[in-house]
Amino acid sequence: MMPTDVNVDFDLNSYLATKGADVEAALDQSLAVVYPEVIYESMRYSVMAGGKRLRPILCLATCELVGGTSAQAMPTACALEMVHTMSLIHDDLPAMDNDDYRRGQLTNHKVYGDDVAILAGDALLAYAFEFIADRTEDVPATAVLDVIRRLGHAVGAAGLVGGQIVDLASEGKPDTSIETLNFIHIHKTAALLEVSVVSGAVLAGADNDTIERLSRYAQNIGLAFQIVDDVLDVTSTQEELGKSIGKDIQAQKATYPSIWGLDESRKKADDLIQAAKEELEPFGPLKRPLVAIADFITARTH
């Protein structure tokens, strides 16, 4: 697909590097190690382990798009990464996905034990909300409260936790329906991406139409993100292990390619990205990072 004209000379890599460095510095400052050290060390271990910082960058980009500043959104941007990181720590636990590695290093519970990893996740979740309330400056209190409300909704049983619970229940069920698969990913993945985008707009004082438009952008890129992830899982497994083993692995669980096939999955992801970019049409040149991030999601499958 051709890039949108407005974006031909936009350098996404340097944008991500610059904004990512700002987020990295703010996260580094957000978490000091004090007594009882082990819990702070464990929190820092996972938060400072890298990652694309996509959620904070989306929040900063949207705040600027709607006329706000990076500074207004930075505490919320950091909080989003804290919530994302805590969801990864809990997701990796033996009671959930039981993973040994994350972001190129041992998972939190492999280093600190299950007990500390659970508590590090809990502490990060609580601190995220405290951090928004405590550190946000030059934003009306009603907007800060709205961001806190939206984040709570996106993380709890109506969001990430709800998606995770349905995901766990669908383990070992390759005949899971497309509706259930969509439910899982809209809640597990898209909900946090959506609140990342929307909170940036809320902090900048956007009106409801703008918020809803940006919310649709985020839902579309969130679902596309997951379809692409599933496609890459199949194609990288096929490359590494050969087609027959790839199919065996797929059979444990329904994925978009297991329901639609690879070509249709790629097409659906492309359509979602196109729809996401259409939502950005009314905005000026500051939309370029959001357009480029949308394109970047599907570029990985072509």
Catalog residues that contact ligand GRG under the rule CB under 6 A.
51-52, 54, 84, 87-88, 90-91, 96, 103, 125, 155, 160-161, 164, 188-189
Shortest Cβ 244–ligand GRG spacing (Å): 27
Nearer to ligand GRG, 69 or 237 (CB): 237
The shares of helix, strand and coil residues in the chain, as percent rounded to the nearest 5, are: 75, 0, 25
How many residues does the structure list for the chain? 302
Shortest Cβ 122–ligand GRG spacing (Å): 8
Shortest Cβ 231–ligand GRG spacing (Å): 14
Nearer to ligand GRG, 143 or 160 (CB): 160
Nearer to ligand GRG, 206 or 230 (CB): 230
Q: Give the single-character DSSP code of 105.
A: E
Shortest Cβ 114–ligand GRG spacing (Å): 14
Q: What are the residues whose beta carbons fall under 8 Å from the beta carbon of 13, sequence distance 6 or more?
A: none
Q: Cβ distance 136 to 75 under 8 Å? A: yes
Tokens of 229: 């992830």
Nearer to ligand GRG, 113 or 282 (CB): 113
Q: For residue 162, which of 183, 192, 193 has the smallest C-alpha distance?
A: 183
- Comparing every residue's Cβ against ligand GRG, the nearest one is 51
Shortest Cβ 294–ligand GRG spacing (Å): 15
Residue 51 Rama label (left phi>0; alpha psi -120 to 50; beta) = left
Nearer to ligand GRG, 96 or 251 (CB): 96
Its sign, for the CA torsion 256, 260, 266, 270, is: negative
